[in-house]
Chains A and B, each alone.
Chain A
């Protein structure tokens, strides 16, 4: 079908399909399940060996999850703080250098574009990490400010080291300076290696950030140090279970990032997601502020809440009812929590349910086992405190296990 007269060696101008991160050789070698998915165009593990054992490693020993595909944007310059403060709902001035803040940002109608973590390296030096592609938005938000924006997504690698023995591994790897890190602290532990006490598991853990070229060396160093402490490479499924226990929301699951929704009315505001504490109406204007003020006055449409359910069957996709008859919401992320031995979920309810009205709520769970569908109607109670909370996650200096 093509010209064979000349040797054709032209390759595609860009790689097709998924591409590997720097850690893929290690993950490939460790993976027996060969279960991969695409994350920002990168190959990412769903399960390495066995999801259950990977999960328990998070809560018992230590785990490594490759977060390199995360989108990362460096924002530097004299106006960096002002620019970010106009973009974010929280007061960025309160995130001091050497700290990391969890933050949300909205469009002009107050709908959440994405959530992410804002790392502050210095007074005028930040990095934003988030799930959704964000370069266009950050550049638009930067216009008119004296800042420089660099897309570090493909040049900075990241590893998430999470679990009760995670500090012990760092210590044995010669990174014991991390002992001083309180939750959400950030420091350059070694030249070119930044460590933040952050993570997606709600447990003791750290995220390590480095240039691509330094990735494999660090991986090997951590594995060598982990001999006494137990370390497993994990995939997303195990991590997802842990983050539900921690009560953390996930984009595309618990809310729809407004810039990727096609249907109208699917966006959610930070207030509707339960993040009033991260919206600072006292500071100067930020994107969506006026719309959020209006919503605060008129009332929310929905409430995203933590719930506990009866029974033992995981509730993903379940519909929620008031008084067993009126459909008032659905489960967005549900799971049986192995650590807390409770049936838990994040759920979206139509206001006032989940807000002013919290009683007499039920979930209709469809269970499919061995070719048969069963329906279970179980009671639901709204929770205010976290499902999983352990002091080891906050202890400074951290405990060895």
Chain B
């Protein structure tokens, strides 16, 4: 009745990182199984049709961070992946004006000058600083983090690499880098720009998915996290995966299966099985059992070890550290089927900047207040949202002439406060609708009457995200991107190299370095470590700067 099969490696979870690891292992000749609790694969990189004729990128919605090296190694374009960069973007004001982020550099300069003449140069200075940081950080993404407490040659050499890179910067640049990594995005923007509107437009990238405010230290780093990707080498560019974000995981799955891999859906992990300190396989909720001496979990570190591993299998300090790992959900998502393109009264006819990311938060104070609301367990009264209508350039997501809109919202709490009680159970249909109403009310600032065109809307709080995707507390990065949870601290100190206290068991999701976003880097880095451990290190491509 239960399936009992033996594999070389089992990956728990078919999110993009799990599939990435699975692909590299399969290509190295291992017999690999991926198990997935949902009937569909993809984790938070999914495209699903919840309203007939429309496809949503239900969770993640734009692509930039997916590493070029991984796309090429796993031949994802051959298996259908196509990422189209989008242009433009804007923030709309209450007064019927906007700041448009033109991709045309000359137009952008003029638009910045329209906001404030000083801000043209400010933007150059800002861009240069951010680009320099991107160039500094990118080599570290596809490298395993060093363990600074270890004297092993590999760790020392990684540490030395880090130190040398830092030293190469020179004293002035090192100081600037140090400041950038520890500053708040708002303070960083205040040091450059005059226009509140321009600052607010840029600052959103510093709080996406994060339980911090624009004035919280460390949010400039979060912004960097969102700028350090690229589309075909254009650093900082974002694009739509044609067919939605699910096409990424579909391509990964196809690549995996073409290398001989197996995917089983419909039942999640009940327990990771161990014996004598080593992993032996997985037991699924439906009773099936699969065996392997290598098991990798794509779930976040808390779900993996607190929900599905016997506490007796783990050292107590490890359990404490895992419980301490912060995965606070702060984001909501609304996916919308529109029967026509909305009206943006402030925007010129056929404005191309509407095909980019749009927002309605017009000042840093407004953004900070949005964070304060979340701190006490409510959704933001004036939410920040990242709103796009990909169907302007991706014809695959809605019927011709109709549109799909994706709205990512900051902030929405996981443990919603109602009548003095904070609990995720407070999220019900009424609350979700109230949340959606709040978002659409704000959206009227850009496109009044939007509600008249809505045929269907999927509204998700962090609670739904947790239930469907398995992200603990609905944190989209599988753990906050704060200093105490980055690099050699991610997910917990001493276990930041994808290995866990259980022999043969690994973590491969965004809970590991370098963190969240649809990057694939954690999955690829983990694959490298796994292959080294099983004596197939040569099978992993080597990346040079």
Contacts and interface: CB of A to CB of B under 8 A. Distances in A.
A368 interface: no
20 contacts: A1-B392, A8-B349, A10-B348, A12-B107, A12-B351, A16-B104, A16-B106, A17-B106, A109-B172, A134-B121, A135-B118, A136-B118, A136-B121, A136-B124, A136-B125, A259-B124, A260-B124, A261-B128, A262-B131, A264-B132
Nearest to B235: A262
Given A136-B122, A151-B117, A1 B173 contact: no
Interface string B105-142: 01101110110011011101100100110010000000
A313 interface: no
A41 interface: yes
A264 B173 contact: yes
A188 B121 CA distance: 31
A109 B175 CA distance: 14
B121 A135 contact: yes
Given A13-B111, A259-B124, A262-B135, A38 B106 contact: yes
A16 B107 contact: yes
A151 B131 CA distance: 27
Contacts, number: 82
Interface string A2-23: 1100001111111111110000
Contacts of B318: none
Nearest to A261: B128
B440 interface: no
**What DSSP secondary structure best describes chain A's contact surface?**
loop
Given A136-B118, A262-B132, A263-B135, A15 B341 contact: no
A399 interface: no
A220 interface: no
B343 A3 contact: yes
Contacts of B2: none
Contacts of A136: 118, 120-122, 124-125
Nearest to B110: A14
A15 B106 CA distance: 9
**Residue among A3, A137, A151 facing the most chain B CB atoms (10 A cut-off):** A3
Q: How large is the interface on B (under 10, 10 to 19, 20 to 34, 35 or more residues)?
A: 35 or more
A133 interface: yes
A109 B106 CA distance: 30
B173 A14 contact: no
Nearest to B192: A136
B120 A133 contact: yes
Contacts of A11: 348
A114 to B, nearest CB: 12
Interface of A: 1-3, 8-19, 38, 41, 108-109, 133-137, 139, 151, 259-264
Contacts of A135: 117-118, 120-121
B310 interface: no
Contacts of B102: 16
Contacts of B104: 16-17
Contacts of A133: 120-121, 124
Nearest to B136: A264
A358 to B, nearest CB: 30
B114 A14 contact: yes
Contacts of B347: 10
Contacts of A262: 128, 131-132, 135
Contacts of A2: 341, 343, 349-350
Given A2-B349, A136-B118, A259 B172 contact: no
B139 to A, nearest CB: 13
Contacts of B346: 10
A288 to B, nearest CB: 12
Nearest to B106: A41
Given A8-B349, A135-B120, A264 B106 contact: no
Contact of A18 (B106, B131, B168, B349): B106
